[in-house]
A and B are shown apart, each in its own frame.
Chain A
Amino acid sequence: MSDRFDGRSASAHRRGLSRRDFLIGAGGVVLTGALAGCGSEDETATTGAGTGAAGTSAAEGTTQAAAPKQGGNFRLGVTGGGAKDIIDGQHITTKPDQARLLAGFETLLVYDREYKIVNEGLAEEVTAESPTKWIIRIREGIEFHDGKTMTADDVVYSMQRILKPEEGLFGGAGLQASLDASGVKKRDARTVELNLKRADSTVPDQLASYYNGIVPAGYTRKGKQVGTGPYTVKSFTPGQQSVHERFANYWGDPKPPFDTVTITNFGDDAARVNALLGGQLDAITDVPFGQIPVIEGNDAFKILESEGGNWLPFCMRVDQEPWNDVRVRQAFRLIVNREELLQQALAGHGRIANDIYSPFDPCYNSDLPQREQDIEQAKALLEQAGKAGLTVELTTTDGAVGMIEMSKVFAEQAKAAGVTVNVKVLDGSTFYGDQYLKWNFSSDFWGTRNFLPQVANGSIPTAPYNETHWPDEKNKRFIEMYGEAAAEVDEAKRCEIIQEMQRMEYEEGGYIIPFFNNLVDAYSAKVQGFQPARATVNLDTYARGFRTISFV
């Protein structure tokens, strides 16, 4: 599995625009409109399906598409959600929020189906004039839902809103390290400058992250939801449902095909699947593995399985007993039988990982030896640490498909090393409540990000979701290296730093990452256009704002 995975990583590197394309020095123009042609919708689709690189269900992605049918109400069922649901062009709290955000808001750059950054977003070009000065040139004549034309003022407002710590927005962590709100300046009506505090190679990643949408100047979450996306909000009831109407003046191509898109929350897995099978929905996210054969056995429905870089880690707090002893962390990593965990917890819908994240990052360190189960060594390490016969509590919740299952399987595997793992299953609101990020030993889930943006979100003290409280005292150098890597304009040198950082986490980090899980969704055969994709978000990234799909 690791060879196959490494091959994909290398393949992505060859085909994709490398980071060097973004950082070719002062005055270098990157991601211009000409380059955008390389990642046009048609060509991207051909690459993704033709090579089968982006997913495992190639059959679904290569079916001959009929002419898109205009109109109709596309009904989507999304897992989770609740009273905390929001619509905000720059923030999410639940999974249905993702779908709603993508229906109404767009980013300056976008990731394509190969997880390459392309400028099919609101920016015509993004340029690094110098390592610390980025220039964003926006497209001309793009309208917001309220009829106002998008200008540089809106982009400045959007960026500054993301950067305000008091807003607590999802994209803040990634940008705040290198950019202050005062560094975002309007140059002319279509041009914005980002004057960085220090060089930052992750800027394109931030601009392409789906949650960093562009909103009009003066936008607030409580106000009218106005974006540039293909659909406007017609109605929204948190915890239940939202209805989105086609935006007639949408700028992009293809145009939104549906009259309306209805997004419904489904807390219960069985109910969601039954609603699809019963014809009340046209597509659903997160098919429970036990239900996949049911859908596969019915010609009226199709499974969309994408090889995501998503990961479900066990999180060991490196600043607390017993995890503050690296030998205990290493022992627990050696207890894991990754293949068994993948087969039993995910029914094989994923691929083995090696305790480091960001598999789609061009700098991913695939030279590290694949860690295998070694009970004897685990026992010896625990013995050395004076922790033989250790008992720990593993806190988990039904946050993502497989989280509880992997915890149960791991608890069984740990018995072989004389370790007792008591699995404590909490409801989501408790797990992600006040105690979140304070659990001593827990499982969690993450979407796909490239390495440096992921570090900014989860692996340094300023990260908003640092479950493991990494790095410990011994590895404080990791923080400096993050700054160095982000500032490094030479891709080869940056990769060297990143790979060293990954080695540090591989050897001493607080995560156990046994596998990368696939995204498994399902849809009616009456819908066409879905393709397997390397993505962080489900259902072909919600069919790119519900534009690249249509009824047959």
Chain B
Amino acid sequence: MSADVIDVVAVAPDTPLEARRPLAGQVRGALRLWRTRIGLALVTMLVLVALFGSVVAPHSPTAFVGAPNVAPSATARLGTDALGQDVLSRFLHGGTRILGLGVASTALGLVLGVAVGLIAAYSRNFLDDVLMRVMDVILAFPQIMLALVAIATVGPTAWVVILAVGLTTMPRVARVMRGAAQPIVERDFVAASEALGESRFRIVFAEILPNVTSPLTVEASLRLTYSIALIASLAFLGFTTSANAPDWGLMIQENRIALTVQPWGVVVPAAAIALLTVGTGLIGDGFARAAAGIDRPRGEG
């Protein structure tokens, strides 16, 4: 919903440093916003489903509890899916994978992207050009296409999904980080650190990085949103670690043909994915607005 706004805010290197808040202050500011609170509530709810859903699920996610595509009953509260498995149980089991892979792949993309972006910004020489042109090449391909190539070649194992999504997330983060770090690199304290003989590693990750946490926070939530959507899309296309795994994306694909007969097998996982992405999007939006000092709640001045 607000991806464009976030992008603009996140890559706005011209924002005066004075206007940027320390991370704790930014969190406090974001939490004052209703959009952030709603986002957190949604994400928390779905994280709880993912973490504890399997404990309360009435059936095994792969048990055949009735005929295929049967409407809700006492045995299957949300009906059965295309193979006669309990939709509710599969939903309750199905969030772990999407959330786990989403967080892991986003974390990988952030770590790599931050490293590349900051090194490129700090280097101020040919390395900057080389790194960013490589990032541009990766950016030139749609993220899902690169992920599909990797998964189709190696196989849909968890680590391949994490690597594929993480590596394709990296250039997007790197671009934002480089833009945010460039004005920082020119600041006097960086020159002072160099004069004191601090290592380049320390200058990049101990001096510059703390000054770009605001756009990084926004970017992290934004990338998490996209990663979740991408992983769900891959599952929808059938690229899951197990063909019959309880997975929200796969559930949509398996049951869409019977949408008009037994809609719950599609509606429930689709709603969960939608709420999860909306939730992470709202959190990111809240952080972006708090960082930029816009859209403050009434009375905040």
Contacts and interface: CB of A to CB of B under 8 A. Distances in A.
A369 interface: no
A343 interface: yes
Contact of A424 (B68, B243, B255): B243
A270 B266 CA distance: 14
Contacts of A409: 64, 83
Residue of B69, B84, B243, B255 most packed against chain A (CB within 10 A): B243
A408 B83 contact: yes
Interface in A392-426: 404-405, 407-409, 411-412, 422-425
Contacts of B238: 425
Interface string A364-407: 00000000000000000000000000000000000000001101
B82 interface: yes
A294 interface: yes
Given A289-B68, A290-B257, A409-B64, A343 B243 contact: no
Interface stretch (A2-10, A114-122, A245-253, A344-352): A344-352
Given A269-B257, A290-B257, A423-B244, A344 B62 contact: no
B27 interface: no
Contacts of A424: 243
Given A270-B256, A423-B243, A405 B82 contact: yes
Interface size class of B (residues with CB under 8 A): 20 to 34
A506 B69 CA distance: 34
A411 B257 contact: no
B199 interface: no
Contacts of A348: 67
Contact of B257 (A288, A340, A343, A422): A288
A269 B254 CA distance: 12
Interface string B262-298: 1000000000000000000000000000000000000
B82 A290 contact: yes
A344 B242 contact: no
Nearest to A411: B244
Contacts of A320: none
A413 B244 CA distance: 12
A404 B243 contact: yes
Contacts of A347: 67-69
Given A344-B64, A345-B83, A270 B257 contact: yes
B73 interface: no
Given A408-B244, A412-B244, A425-B238, A344 B83 contact: yes
Contacts of B203: none
A433 interface: no
Interface string A212-248: 0000000000000000000000000000000000000
A405 B83 contact: yes
B258 A411 contact: no
The prevalent SS among residues of B at the interface is: loop
A425 B260 CA distance: 26
A298 to B, nearest CB: 11
A291 B258 contact: yes
A228 B67 CA distance: 46
A348 B69 CA distance: 12
A290 B69 contact: yes
A411 B242 CA distance: 10
- Of B62, B64, B238, B256, which is in contact with the most chain A CB atoms at under 10 Å from its CB? B64
Contacts of A411: 243-244
A293 interface: yes
A290 B71 CA distance: 12
Contacts of A345: 83
Contact of B243 (A273, A293, A340, A408): A408
A412 B69 contact: no
B261 A294 contact: yes
Contacts of A294: 260-261
Contacts of A423: 242-244
A424 B240 CA distance: 10
Nearest to A274: B260
B70 to A, nearest CB: 10
B157 to A, nearest CB: 11
Contact of B261 (A290, A340, A404, A425): A290
A207 B84 CA distance: 43
Contacts of B261: 290-291, 293-294
Nearest to B64: A344
Contacts of B69: 289-290, 293, 347
A293 B261 CA distance: 7
Interface in A247-283: 269-270, 273
B36 to A, nearest CB: 38
A273 B256 CA distance: 12
Nearest to A346: B68
B290 to A, nearest CB: 43
A510 to B, nearest CB: 22
Interface string B50-82: 000000000000101001110000000000001
A340 B64 contact: yes
Contacts of B64: 340, 344, 409, 412
A109 to B, nearest CB: 38
A273 B238 CA distance: 22
Contacts of A344: 64, 67-68, 83-84
Interface string A287-318: 01111011000000000000000000000000
Contacts of B83: 344-345, 405, 408-409
Contact of A412 (B62, B255, B259): B62
A273 B257 CA distance: 9
Contacts of A405: 82-83
21 contacts: A273-B257, A290-B68, A290-B258, A291-B261, A294-B260, A294-B261, A340-B64, A343-B67, A344-B64, A344-B68, A344-B84, A345-B83, A347-B67, A347-B69, A408-B244, A409-B83, A412-B62, A412-B244, A423-B244, A425-B238, A425-B243
Closest 7 CB pairs of A and B: A290-B258, A423-B243, A408-B244, A288-B257, A290-B257, A290-B69, A344-B84
Interface of B: 62, 64, 67-69, 82-84, 238, 242-244, 255-262
Interface of A: 269-270, 273, 288-291, 293-294, 340, 343-345, 347-348, 404-405, 407-409, 411-412, 422-425
Given A270-B257, A290-B258, 14 more contacts: A288-B257, A289-B69, A290-B82, A290-B255, A290-B262, A291-B260, A293-B69, A294-B260, A294-B261, A408-B244, A411-B244, A412-B64, A422-B243, A425-B243
